[in-house]
Amino acid sequence: MIEGMGRIRVRTIAILGLLSLVVAALLIWHKPLLSLFTDTARVQEFVTRFGLWGPLAAILLHVAQVLLAPIPGQVIDAANGYLFGAARGTFYSLVGVIIGSSLAMALARRYGRPWAEKLIKRETLERLDSYSQQRGTLFFFLIFLFPFLPDDVACFLAGLTPLPLPELVVLAAVGRLPGILAANLVGANAAALTRIQIAFFTAILAAIALAFWRYQERVEAAMLKVTAWLADFMRSPHTH
């Protein structure tokens, strides 16, 4: 218990330190950063100089995000939309998600549950497993579709099921597409926002991220219950 509290304290200090550095950087270099942020054409022209390396980096970053989940996928999607435009950004994000999801499912199926538990929390995997039983592909599709759910973990769990991998990959791609497109559209149109609008949306996103980080397990548990209920409702005879 004490050791767990120590890890939480260290993680909290690290996050607060990182936020302090970001705030300090914004205070010092806010004018050049803001001018760069508002000039989308300039940024996209800079990215095109890298040729295929730019899109490849965007795709590989999303692959790493699915497998390791160091940062939320929506952040990468918004960045892709800003750097490449909504259409190309969505395409690169989707390709990365498809590759990452396929790898997560295939590796989990190849090496089994003990290997998957080395990458993700056993509690999270067991919680998701308990809800997915007897609900099949519909439950996984809803997991990929709705926000605030462990969709990356669902990829590993899906690989542990006997369900066909091609079908699961398609479900992951189709289910995640609306969220990917929305984030890319936000990123592509970010430069059109005023400073007040940028500050407002940044504050909202920061508040949501902080609340989700603080109450992640509660939010996920509540959303999983809703998703399981919806899956049961859609599968029940009276819906036909």
Asked whether the predicted pLDDT for residue 92 surpasses 90, the reply is: yes
Q: Does residue 33 register a pLDDT over 50?
A: no
Q: Which segment, 18-27, 126-135, 190-199, is predicted with the most confidence on average?
A: 126-135
Q: What is the mean pLDDT of the chain?
A: 76
pLDDT at residue 64 greater than cutoff 90: no
CA–CA separation, 146 and 221 (whole Å): 13
Query: Residue 89 pLDDT more than 70?
Result: yes
Q: What is the pLDDT of residue 200?
A: 75
**pLDDT at residue 214 greater than cutoff 80:** no
HEC secondary structure over the chain: CHHHHHHHHHHHHHHHHHHHHHHHHHHHHHHHHHHHHHCHHHHHHHHHCCCCHHHHHHHHHHHHHHHHCCCCHHHHHHHHHHHHCHHHHHHHHHHHHHHHHHHHHHHHHHHHHHHHHHHCCHHHHHHHHHHHCCCHHHHHHHHHHCCCCCHHHHHHHHHHCCCCHHHHHHHHHHHHHHHHHHHHHHHHCHHHCCHHHHHHHHHHHHHHHHHHHHCHHHHHHHHHHHHHHHHHHHHCHHHC
pLDDT tens-digit readout, 70-83: 567 777 888 888 88
> pTM of the predicted model, to two decimals?
0.71
| pLDDT at site 65 | 83
Using the structure block, give the residue that is written with the tokens 């067991």. Answer: 126
- With a cut of 50, say whether residue 29 has pLDDT above it: no
